Amino acid sequence: MTKKQLQNIKDKLEKEKSRIEAELLSMAHRNPSTSETDFEADYKDVGDDDEDNASEVAQYTSDLSVSSELEKTLRDIEDALSSMSKGDYGICKYCGDGIDPKRLEIRPTSSSCIACKKTFTKEA
């Protein structure tokens, strides 16, 4: 992978990280006692009647699910950026071979090569 490709992927990851953090902060807050990628969904109180309560619970449940997925993606991005700073980005965590640069351009958070991914997901 060229330095230019690596920089383009890093820029893409940092932009996505900022977008996800902003989205998370619109529905949650950082958990001050844990890592930077741990958020807690906010429960928004909009009223006191039964309809409002049902709406609040539905929104909170939805926010929990969405924030959980966003946190997972944020951790994957942090792992990829950390790997870049260590100099081992693009190396499969299972077999140690290089990950195809085309795969990394499409899915920059990939930590495994296609062969290992297929093996672990039992694809033919």
pTM tops 0.85, yes or no? no
Please state, for a pLDDT cut of 90, what percent of the chain lies above it. Answer: 56
In 3D space, the residue among 82, 70, 75 whose CA is nearest the CA of residue 19 turns out to be 70
Cα three-residue angle 84-101-69, rounded to 5 degrees? 65
> Phi and psi (nearest 5°) for 45?
-85, 115
Sign for the pseudo-dihedral over CA of 91, 97, 103, 107:
negative
Model confidence band, residue 61 (pLDDT cutoffs 50, 70, 90): confident
**Amino acid code (one letter) for 56:** E
Q: What is the C-alpha to C-alpha distance for residues 18 and 39, in angstroms, rounded to an integer? A: 14
Task: Give yes or no for residue 36 having a pLDDT over 90.
Answer: no
Residues comprising the chain, all counted: 124
For residue 53, the surrounding DSSP H or E stretch is helix 50-86
Query: What is the structure's pLDDT at 20?
Result: 94
